[in-house]
């Protein structure tokens, strides 16, 4: 099975990855923190969060596309990875065209479904040891922010 051959020690989370990963949570966190205190614009903040969630869900599928392009992977596995790599983008797109509450719920499901796929990919792909714990933390925090949006009454009402 192919490996992506990282150029850093597998047990050490690179500083740039930490900054980019955790910094990438800001568009989830800020709307979640601001929306409850800005009722006049709360729905705008949460739409910003939903749009960003769709973008990030699309982004995380790219790893599976990259893995599928590795030269020494079996054709059946390659096919499965290529197919899965576009599923998160389709889920994100659907989350944007559904009503807000349903879209946010679909994003939550999509993030956890993708995390479960990443768990299956991490070992055969030779991912560094920090990868899954980081993905779990990022998915968990993004999910809490999306849950906070789901808990606001304005999403339930038409």
CB-side exposure of 1: number of CA atoms within 13 Å? 13
* pLDDT of res. 98: 95
Q: In this predicted model, which residue has the larger pLDDT, 142 or 3? A: 142
The string of pLDDT tens digits covering residues 75-124 is 888 899 999 999 999 999 999 999 988 999 999 999 999 999 999 888 87
Distance CA 10, CA 3 (A): 12
The yes-or-no verdict on residue 71 having pLDDT over 90 is no
The string of pLDDT tens digits covering residues 2-54 is 444 445 455 789 999 999 999 999 999 999 999 888 878 878 888 999 999 99
* pLDDT of res. 96: 97
* pLDDT of res. 153: 67
Q: How many CB atoms lie within 10 A of CB 18?
A: 12
DSSP state of 14: -
Distance CA 136, CA 119 (A): 10
CB 6, CB 14: distance < 8 Å? no
Distance CA 8, CA 27 (A): 28
* pLDDT of res. 11: 74
Token digits of residue 116: 């479960």
Q: Is 35 exposed, middle or buried (0-12, 13-18, 19+ CB in 10 A)?
A: buried
């Amino acid at each position: 099975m192919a490996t992506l051959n990282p150029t850093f020690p597998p047990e050490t989370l690179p500083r740039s990855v930490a900054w980019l990963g955790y910094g990438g949570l800001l568009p989830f966190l800020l709307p979640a923190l601001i929306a409850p205190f800005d009722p006049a614009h709360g729905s705008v903040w949460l739409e910003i969060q939903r749009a960003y969630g769709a973008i990030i869900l699309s982004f995380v599928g790219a790893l599976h596309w990259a893995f599928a392009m590795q030269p020494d992977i079996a054709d059946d596995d390659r096919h499965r990875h290529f197919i899965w790599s576009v599923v998160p983008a389709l889920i994100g797109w659907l989350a944007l065209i559904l009503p807000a509450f349903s879209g946010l719920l679909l994003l939550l499901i999509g993030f956890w479904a993708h995390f479960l796929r990443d768990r299956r990919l991490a070992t055969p792909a030779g991912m560094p040891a920090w990868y899954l714990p980081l993905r779990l933390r990022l998915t968990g925090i993004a999910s809490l922010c999306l849950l906070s949006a789901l808990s606001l009454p304005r999403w339930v009402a038409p």
